[in-house]
Structure 1
């Protein structure tokens, strides 16, 4: 079966609006190994969105370069970390599926974060509205991260806490990489 480039992205969008059956039907078609390899194209989709978010945030070209490098290192770090952790937890069989879903959901998460920057571009927008928009979008992005990891590992109650810990590790790796990139600016 030929895997179309848009299938994983459409599946991730279905997951973002909490339609896991539609997501699972799309993901489970065809060769999972091929889909896992295809999912690394998500990184190419995410990089322009990251650059756009930096531009909307008013950052310069040097900041955009640091952000892209930090996100690339964080992405590689989480992929490697999750593979090692899942192998040691005897869940290695679920890694290819989990990383596939996680990769494409990252594109959706970044796309979700772009609208959160819009209130900051409006000078008359109240601070409380900016804060609430950011909280809602970050909450949705974190939920999507957890949901993608959990569904990738298997949608069972036993996968709830491993997914929580992997989501927290994903966030921690990202924060550490962004902080390191910021420290390069000084």
Structure 2
């Protein structure tokens, strides 16, 4: 947790708090259990009109699939960049930074329910999205010891996996 707090504040030394072992990477997937309720709350706040059993099943399926999907895709990219030995550290860091992202997202959505002016939520969304993209880039750079350009490739990979899975989830939701 100390490493995560350091990364959240822009301290690259926080990445060294995460062991570069497969055991550490596997243990870090427990974070998904903490993120799952926040994910469901966020989806229900964002799209309350679609709250059906089919919608929730599709969303949960996409949520569960997204964690290993990105991890496996990142392994391929790490191998390509010669960073396979640091892949476990990156996955542990990525999983824990996801927790921070979910906390920010739910906080923003809850704030949006309290403050009815749409521009407040939109401005907050831009700030959160910008911070989350920076956090993932910064964390990838620190955990994998890569250049900024290479770290951006991991951010883009995450976005591509997310877009692919959100398309599948949307299709499953419709039937």
CA contact (8 A) 1:46 1:107 kept: yes
Deviations 1:145-168 (A, max 9, x none): 1122111102xxx52111101101
Runs of 4+ in 1 over 4 A off after TM superposition: none
1:20 to 12, 22, 34: 12
Residue number in structure 2 paired with 1:6: none
CA contact (8 A) 2:70 2:158 kept: yes
Distance 1:26 1:89, change over 3 A: closer
Residue number in structure 2 paired with 1:47: 36
Q: Which runs of 5 or more residues in structure 1 are unaligned?
A: 1-8
CA contact (8 A) 1:45 1:107 kept: yes
Give distance in 2, aligned partners of 1:99 and 1:144: 14
Count of matched residue pairs: 171
TM-score if structure 2 supplies the norm length? 0.86
Give distance in 2, aligned partners of 1:86 and 1:146: 15
TM-score if structure 1 supplies the norm length? 0.81
CA contact (8 A) 1:49 1:110 kept: yes
The DSSP-based 3-state class of the residue aligned with 1:177 is helix
1:131 to 119, 122, 131: 122
Give distance in 2, aligned partners of 1:33 and 1:98: 11
Distance 1:25 1:169, change over 3 A: closer
Residue number in structure 2 paired with 1:159: 147
Give distance in 1, aligned partners of 2:44 and 2:101: 17
Deviations 1:3-27 (A, max 9, x none): xxxxxx3422331122333x24532
User: How far is the alpha carbon of 1:127 from its aligned partner?
Assistant: 1.9
User: How far is the alpha carbon of 1:118 from its aligned partner?
Assistant: 2.4
By relative contact order (CA 8 Å, sep 6+), the higher-ranking structure is 2
CA contact (8 A) 1:33 1:96 kept: yes
1:148 to 139, 163, 171: 139
